[in-house]
Structure 1
């Protein structure tokens, strides 16, 4: 492949009015591999003792472009999400992984800027011959 010496083969992208996220854009806010102990499970040996779980979250957030004021208050803060997630995991006993995943999704969707959430919740010490067992759900805000 030959290129002219007067123009480079690759042109840098120059943002303009038609390039970049618009009012319909989606920003992904995520938390990967948060590990915590929680009271979870239906079996008698699971009641009354914490089990290790791993949580992965992927939030689809309404994105109107770069934060104009470069302020944390203009975005969905992953630190706030992680703190809320830790509070849920530290809460009372839940029987089903599915129920806890739904509770996590509901918490994430409390912020009106969050359009969708994917929750992957894994129990880490269920089987000696498997790294984890769990569920993954995705919930989308109605009308999003």
Structure 2
């Protein structure tokens, strides 16, 4: 069970979630000299909690946020060009996801897959201001 699931259930509410896991893209990211002018493989996991009552009542995609929306948020942000910090990238993705009023909380995990012996990165959780 993810941290978001534990917290939501601990607060007495159960929210639906949509997610994208293990999306890997070659992107331009990093502050070090060896990271300039090259791309590196970066893994993304996004989990978004959907506001209570949001459901596809008419079985139409327009009625709910979609995992395609999450993946496209990542792709559009990284397509804009080089980003120095993984933290900046994570914050931009979270902000883009929360722009959809139907999403109330989002977890963004970013892993640089070509740095160090294992993946390194950041994970952030952001909520819609109440």
* TM-score, scaled relative to structure 1: 0.77
Are 1:48 and 2:54 an aligned pair?
Answer: no
- Correspondence 1:1-144 to 2 at 5 A: 26-64=15-53, 66-127=55-116, 129-130=117-118, 132-143=119-130
Unaligned runs of 5+ in 2: 1-12
Label 1:113 to 1:98 Cα distance change in 2 as closer, same or farther (>3 A): same
Deviation at 1:90, TM superposition (A): 2.2
Unaligned runs of 5+ in 1: 1-23
Equivalent residues of 2:55, 2:63 under 8 A apart: no
- Mark the structure with the bigger radius of gyration: 1
Equivalent residues of 2:50, 2:105 under 8 A apart: yes
SS in 2 for 1:95: coil
Equivalent residues of 2:19, 2:70 under 8 A apart: no
Label 1:85 to 1:65 Cα distance change in 2 as closer, same or farther (>3 A): closer
Question: What is the root-mean-square deviation of aligned Cα atoms in Å?
Answer: 1.4
The corresponding residue for 1:11 is none
Whose helix fraction is larger, Structure 1's or Structure 2's?
2
- 1:78-117 Cα offsets, whole Å, 9 max, x none, are 1122122112122211111111110111110110111000
What is the number of equivalent residue pairs in this alignment? Answer: 118
Equivalent residues of 1:60, 1:114 under 8 A apart: yes
* TM-score, scaled relative to structure 2: 0.85
Moved over 3 A (4+): none
